[in-house]
Amino acid sequence: MKNNPIGIFDSGLGGLTVLSEIARILPAEDTVYLGDTARVPYGIKSKETVVRYALEDAAFLKSHKVKLIVIACNTASANAQDVLQKVLDLPVVGVIEPGARAAVEASKSGRIGIIGTEATIRSNAYTRAIVELSPEAQTFNIACPLFVPLVEEGWNGTDIAERVAREYLKGFKEANIDTLVLGCTHYPLLKEVISSVMGPGVRLIDSATATALEVASLLKENGQECSEEEAGTHAFYATDSPESFTKVGARFLGVRLGSTSLAHLESIEHG
Ligand code: DGL
Q: What is the pLDDT of residue 271?
A: 61
Other CB atoms within 10 A of residue 99 CB: 29
| pLDDT tens profile 227-257 | 888 999 999 999 999 999 998 898 888 778 8
Mutate to test the pocket of ligand 1, among 17, 70, 148 (most ligand atoms within 8 A of CB): 148
Q: Are 120 and 126 spatial neighbours (Cβ–Cβ below 8 Å)? A: yes
Which of 198, 37, 45, 26 has its CA nearest to residue 117?
45
* Catalytic residue from among 73, 169, 198, 219: 73
Closest Cα to atom 7 of ligand 1: 41
Ligand 1: centre distance to CA 186 (Å): 7
Per 3-state DSSP, the chain is made up of helix, strand and coil in percentages (nearest 5) of 45, 15, 35
Closest Cα to atom 6 of ligand 1: 41
Question: How far is Cα 249 from Cα 254, in angstroms, rounded to an integer?
Answer: 8
Query: Is residue 25 helix, strand or coil?
Result: helix
Q: Is 65 left (phi over 0), alpha (psi -120 to 50) or beta?
A: left
Shortest-distance atom of ligand 1 to CA 43? 8
- What sign for the dihedral angle of Cα 90, 96, 99, 104? negative
Contact partners, residue 98, CB within 8 Å, separation at least 6: 207, 210, 211, 213, 214
Q: What is the pLDDT of residue 1?
A: 83
Q: What is the pLDDT of residue 154?
A: 86
* Catalytic residue from among 69, 96, 184, 219: 184
Give every residue of the chain whose pLDDT is below 50, as ranges. none
Mutate to test the pocket of ligand 1, among 49, 73, 81 (most ligand atoms within 8 A of CB): 73
3-state secondary structure 128-183: HHHHHHCCCCEEEEEECCCHHHHHHCCCCCCHHHHHHHHHHHHHHCCCCCCEEEEE
* Domains of the chain (ranges, CATH numbers): 6-95+209-267 (3.40.50.1860), 96-207 (3.40.50.1860)
Q: What is the pLDDT of residue 251?
A: 80
Question: How far is Cα 86 from Cα 91, in angstroms, rounded to an integer?
Answer: 10
Other CB atoms within 10 A of residue 73 CB: 35
CB-defined site of ligand 1, < 6 Å? 10-12, 14, 40-43, 73-75, 117, 120, 148, 184-186
Question: How far is Cα 152 from Cα 43, in angstroms, rounded to an integer?
Answer: 14
Query: Exposed, middle or buried: residue 221 (CB in 10 Å: 0-12, 13-18, 19+)?
Result: exposed
Active site residue 73: yes
Ligand 1: centre distance to CA 230 (Å): 32
- How many residues are present in the chain? 271
Amino acid identity of residue 216, one-letter, is A
DSSP string for residues in 57-94: HHHHHHTTT-SEEEE--HHHHHHHHHHHHHH-SS-EEE
Ligand 1: centre distance to CA 184 (Å): 6
Ligand 1: centre distance to CA 152 (Å): 11
Global pTM reads 0.95
Q: Are 205 and 183 spatial neighbours (Cβ–Cβ below 8 Å)? A: no
Active site residue 144: no
Contact partners, residue 266, CB within 8 Å, separation at least 6: 56, 59, 60
Mutate to test the pocket of ligand 1, among 81, 117, 120, 151 (most ligand atoms within 8 A of CB): 117
Closest Cα to atom 1 of ligand 1: 73
Question: How far is Cα 199 from Cα 195, in angstroms, rounded to an integer?
Answer: 6
